[in-house]
Amino acid sequence: MKTLILITLTMALGLMGVGCSKSNSTNANNAYVAPIVNEPTAPGISSGGPIFTGGATVAFKPVSKSIMNDYASSAVPVHTLVNPTNYKININLSQSATSRYSGEVSIAYTDAGQNYYGVFTAGAGKNSVISKGLYNNVPMSEYNYWFKFENQIVFTGFFQDQFGAITLTLIPETTTTSSGSDAEPVTTTTYKGSIYYKNFPKFVNGVAVNTQSPDRFCWFITYGPYDCRSNVIQTKCGLYPGSEAGYQLLGTFSGVNIKTAFNLE
């Protein structure tokens, strides 16, 4: 497991990676450790390959092998790619609060005869109550919802494992006016999307960082190595977190069935 520097509750800092506009958000303490499948490696390793029992699975196209190597470098032990193939992404979400979605986003591939996969999570509950803390009782999936952007119903959100965070963006592949309300995804077309990633640092100024506490997911952190916020994703003023928030584009995909991916009836 990586480690986390404890954060003072009373510190008041703006959002890292301002993006579209300024924000008055202040900081919360620590970050929530999302559950990881097949510890201690991330991406996980499986001789039989990941078995996705729900959600929607489609092909995933990484930006490049070097970017995938950087993404995989956050794991312990570090996995250096040889000749990766069969990239997949699985999206398995469900509504856990009013118009908010929690669950898992998994990225899988095969390399050198083994199957690797990372499982990134957003919790279904609410933040624990911390004395003098911020974001108490706020849904863990607070920033994961559908909204209207440039006359399309789109989705953006945060997910994390113990080694880093990702953002998920979904955009309809066919322009449609069959749904015009926020929080109501279009189900008459498939969706395309992208994944941006941000690895948590193993060291700060040459010193190993402390263990991440269980109190908050990283998108509620405003300072330190586990701060994974993006003002763009939080305020929904755009679709991608951008480099100013410390994220890089990992890859893209298409053909997602939203009913299956979001477990909609």
- Give the per-residue pLDDT at 42: 37
User: Distance between CA atoms of 241 and 145, rounded to whole angstroms?
Assistant: 15
The tens digit of pLDDT for each residue in 25-56 reads 433 334 434 433 333 333 454 545 556 889 99
* Amino acid in position 191: Y
Cβ-contact 93, 263 below 8 angstroms: yes
- Does residue 110 belong to any structural domain of this protein? yes
Please give the average per-residue pLDDT across 131-141, as a whole number: 90
User: Distance between CA atoms of 46 and 252, rounded to whole angstroms?
Assistant: 23
**Domain of residue 256, residue span:** 44-261
Beta bridge partners, 90, equal: 57, 106
- Give the per-residue pLDDT at 231: 97
- Does residue 88 belong to any structural domain of this protein? yes
DSSP 8-state class, residue 129 = P
Please give the average per-residue pLDDT across 205-233, as a whole number: 89
| Phi, then psi, of 42 in degrees rounded to 5 | -150, 120
pLDDT at 175 over 80: no
Task: Say which residue, 13 or 200, is predicted with more confidence.
Answer: 200
- Does residue 206 belong to any structural domain of this protein? yes
- Does residue 25 belong to any structural domain of this protein? no
10: pLDDT confidence band, cut at 50, 70 and 90?
very low
CB-based contacts of 64, cutoff 8 Å, min separation 6: none
- Give the per-residue pLDDT at 156: 98
- Does residue 54 belong to any structural domain of this protein? yes
- Joined tokens for residue 131: 């004395």
The tens digit of pLDDT for each residue in 80-113 reads 899 999 999 999 999 998 899 999 999 999 998 8
H or E element, residue 68: helix 65-72
153: pLDDT confidence band, cut at 50, 70 and 90?
very high
Please give the average per-residue pLDDT across 158-185, as a whole number: 84
User: Distance between CA atoms of 222 and 199, rounded to whole angstroms?
Assistant: 16
Q: How many domains does the chain have?
A: 1
* Amino acid in position 163: F
Buried b (16+ CB within 10 A) or exposed e, 194-208: bbbbbbbbeeeeeee
- Does residue 65 belong to any structural domain of this protein? yes
Can you give the pTM of this predicted structure?
Answer: 0.84
181: pLDDT confidence band, cut at 50, 70 and 90?
low
- Does residue 3 belong to any structural domain of this protein? no
- Does residue 20 belong to any structural domain of this protein? no
Number of C-alpha atoms within 13 angstroms, CB side, residue 91? 32
H or E element, residue 167: strand 164-172
